[in-house]
Amino acid sequence: MDFYGIELSSRLLLGTARYPSPKILEAAVRASRAEIVTVSLRREGGEQRAGQAFWSFISELGIRVLPNTAGCHSVKEAVTTAHMARELFGTTWIKLEVIGEADTLQPDVFGLVEAARILTEDGFDVFPYTTEDLVVAERLLEAGCRILMPWGAPIGSARGLNNIFGLRAMRAHFPDVPLVIDAGLGLPSHAAAAMELGYDAVLLNTAIAEAGDPVRMAEAFALAVDAGRLAHAASPMEPRDMAAPSTPVVGKAILA
């Protein structure tokens, strides 16, 4: 798997918020085998994370950091936060979020495209949190994005893949673009379903962080992502309307 020229073996990306403790977060990251963690500059920079101490802890994990603009509701906010993240983490990677609706945390796709264009022109490698809308996806690619991150469902909702048709259409429409399901997954089976659709990776946070046992759940998601990817590569059979016997009738003994 290739993200902006970086080869990765893990197809599971993890958020770092809402874990019971740094120790559990570290253990969950290890169990997930993730090679990328996302960090919110606005959220994690608050008093509850003790600022620089948290950044130091994240850097000690020894894996790639994908800063994000979580909590930003305008283009100006998102662009400013992205520049701060580049200064702090020394990376051109940015997960771009521009939230447009408070209840669902749905992206403001108009602001998202504008912010993506500004940031790519300024040398950023943008990972846009978007919807499954194909027109918006085209505009993001035109703006310079080389990866798309459609939501599965609203952030933290654990509802899984709300629009299978739309997500399948996006995969078919952009066969050569890395696609990552971002947000809304609650169970390992949701992650497996995303991979079975042909998506390249999944990104999640709450489903692991708020599980009764985050470490076991991280391992479960890692296994589910692997299983889903293998199933997709194996070209699964198509659903049928009628039964098809698995045992052939020819040669079957007939008792009089």
Please say whether the beta carbons of 224 and 189 come within 8 A: yes
Catalytic residue among 23, 76, 95, 252: 95
**Does residue 252 carry a catalytic annotation?**
no
Give me the numbers of helices (H) and strands (E) for the chain, helices first please: 10, 10
Please say whether the beta carbons of 214 and 208 come within 8 A: yes
User: Residue 204: enclosing H or E segment and its boundaries?
Assistant: strand 201-204
Q: How far apart are CA 114 and CA 86, in angstroms?
A: 19
Please say whether the beta carbons of 177 and 201 come within 8 A: no
Q: How far apart are CA 30 and CA 192, in angstroms?
A: 20
Q: How far apart are CA 8 and CA 68, in angstroms?
A: 19
Q: How far apart are CA 185 and CA 205, in angstroms?
A: 9
Burial of 224 (0-12, 13-18, 19+ CB in 10 A): buried
Binding residues: 156, 183-184, 205-206
Burial of 229 (0-12, 13-18, 19+ CB in 10 A): buried
Q: What's the Cα-to-Cα distance from 235 to each of 176, 196, 228, rounded to whole Å?
A: 18, 9, 11
Dihedral angle at the C-alpha atoms of 44, 144, 206, 215, nearest 10 degrees? -90
Binding residues for 1-deoxy-D-xylulose 5-phosphate: 156, 183-184, 205-206
Catalytic residues: 95
